Structure 1
Amino acid sequence: MLFSRKFAGTLFLGGGIAFTLGSLLYPSMLGVQKVSSAPERIIGHPATGPLTEADRDFVVEVRAAGLWEYPVGQMAMQKSTTKAVKTAGEHLIAGHASLDAACRGVAGELDIALPNQPSPQQQGFVTQLNAESGKQFDTDMATILRATQGQILSKTASVRTTTKNSLIRALADRTNDILMEHITLVEKTGLVDFDRALSQPTGLPAQDTTPPPPVAGQPQAVLPSPDDGTLSPGSTGAASAEAGRTS
């Protein structure tokens, strides 16, 4: 979905804001089903508490979720055939814009490198839904989101109960609240195929479920908030990042 002309750069191609990522803390393996092989290993000692691989992977996973669910929310608002799906899409945009800002803030404080693109699997979801229309789009959107959000919710609970870092706890609390809102709205569409949603494949190759690391010197993509006047109603295409915007 296209934004106003003040935006430049497609999100999946890197987007664009003023500051770049210099962090080296990026998971070698990350996915909805598979995270790093040593989740309890401490990789940093910031003032907010020890930082583990699981903590780092959680921040990256939440960021990656927003990078594909945000444009899907835009699709829903533009081409869905039902008010319930449009409402879910509206909340996906607002929720992930807020959550992405929180992720970028936490990552900056903890020196965690964030992806500018979702995983190949997640990009596949966007491609599939972008090609669909009508009832097929509505049903597949609801079912795919219910499956992936349920998996992230489980990961959020695990991180919240084990982390010793106060920033990660706060991000987990915020993620839990937004995820529960999104899951509830998706279920209220009445279109979730629970047999499909609860039987998603596991053990996918890491290269399919791992968001690509940021390119050195690449500007950090931003998910614009619908409250800042930067979205144009009824637009189409992938999410974009605002040129010159800082986090």
Structure 2
Amino acid sequence: MRISRTKAGTVFVIGSLTLTITALAYPAMLGLQNTSSAQDRVIANTRYGPLTEQDRDFVVKVRAAGLWEYPLGEIAMQKGSTPEMKEAGAHLIVGHAGLDELCRKVAPELGITLPNQASPQQQQFVQTSQAANGREFDQVASNIMRVTHGQIFPTIAKIRANTKNTLVRELADLANDTVLDHMTVLEKTGSVNFEQTVFQQTTPPKLPADQMTPPPPQPGAPMVVLTPRPDLNIQTSTPKPTGSAAPAPAATPTGG
């Protein structure tokens, strides 16, 4: 593997790592190829409002994202070559600990089973990043994460706009603020190649569903908890999750 630097100073990784990033730098999501009509299908009527397939899949996606981004945040705090990269790692840890807490409160209320492991694709994201060192680590990790955050961002907006479930709406609110914060700190590292990431966000490869789907938890296995880190005193715009379980009030048409 070799590193090529352009006249403008942008670094591109040449060789096997380029192929790895191209193949892997996309969000795992849930890996289900559902039609639009299937995604809109109501699968449960809860006291918080109807729950659709896309609502359920969104809760699982948020949980799965934390299962690889939280440990990658820890690695970034250890291996990041700049204060900005270490700061991005801290934001990943704090943000996903908050999202994980809310996911674990929302899921049982809605009858959703959460995974205990990230998907094989997501686990490979971590392994690919961990294999690099120094400035190369900053570039590999920040670009992988910027692509994944950039692709989930519009999905969050769609869920927030369309869901009729108050708990899913609450999770979407927190996810929106968290992902925006993470994209911002990743961009501040100076390692994001925007031309490459935007291209990869919009042209994801087609991978087998089993590579993109988090495995179901083993029966009787304790739930993995992403532990909050009170030692990380960082300032973010992300509100603390409330995990409220109050039933939704009756909707009142407003005409707007």
In structure 1, what residue type is equivalent to 2:29? G
- Which region of structure 1 is more displaced relative to structure 2, 119-128 or 196-205? 196-205
Task: Tell me the SS of whatever aligns to 1:45.
Answer: strand
Note if 1:212 corresponds to 2:219. no
Which residue pairs with 1:4 in the alignment? none
Which residue pairs with 1:36 in the alignment? 34
Alpha carbons 1:36, 1:54 under 8 Å: kept: no
CA shift, 1:86, in A, is 0.4
Larger Rg: 2
Task: Tell me the SS of whatever aligns to 1:43.
Answer: strand
Task: Tell me the SS of whatever aligns to 1:212.
Answer: coil
Given the two structures, how large is their TM-score scaled by the length of structure 1? Answer: 0.78
Note if 1:89 corresponds to 2:72. no
Which residue pairs with 1:168 in the alignment? 168
Which residue pairs with 2:148 in the alignment? 148
Gaps of 5+ in 1: 1-29, 232-247
Which residue pairs with 2:224 in the alignment? 221
What are the Cα deviations for residues 110-164 of structure 1, in whole angstroms up to 9, with x where unaligned? 1100000111110000111111110110001110011001111111111111110
Alignment of 1:1-247 (within 5 A): 31=29, 34-37=32-35, 38-200=38-200, 201-227=204-230
Which residue pairs with 2:12 in the alignment? none
Task: Tell me the SS of whatever aligns to 2:46.
Answer: coil
CA shift, 1:47, in A, is 0.3
Distance 1:215 1:171 in 2: 25
Aligned in 2, Cα 1:99/1:34: closer, same or farther, shift over 3 Å?
same
In structure 1, what residue type is equivalent to 2:208? P
Gaps of 5+ in 2: 1-27, 233-256
What are the Cα deviations for residues 20-71 of structure 1, in whole angstroms up to 9, with x where unaligned? xxxxxxxxxx836755341001110110000000000000000000000001
Could you tell me the percent identity over the aligned residues? 52
Number of residue pairs aligned between Structure 1 and Structure 2: 200
CA shift, 1:196, in A, is 2.5
Distance 1:35 1:132 in 2: 32
Task: List structure 1 runs of 4+ shifted beyond 3 angstroms.
Answer: 32-37
Alpha carbons 1:69, 1:92 under 8 Å: kept: yes
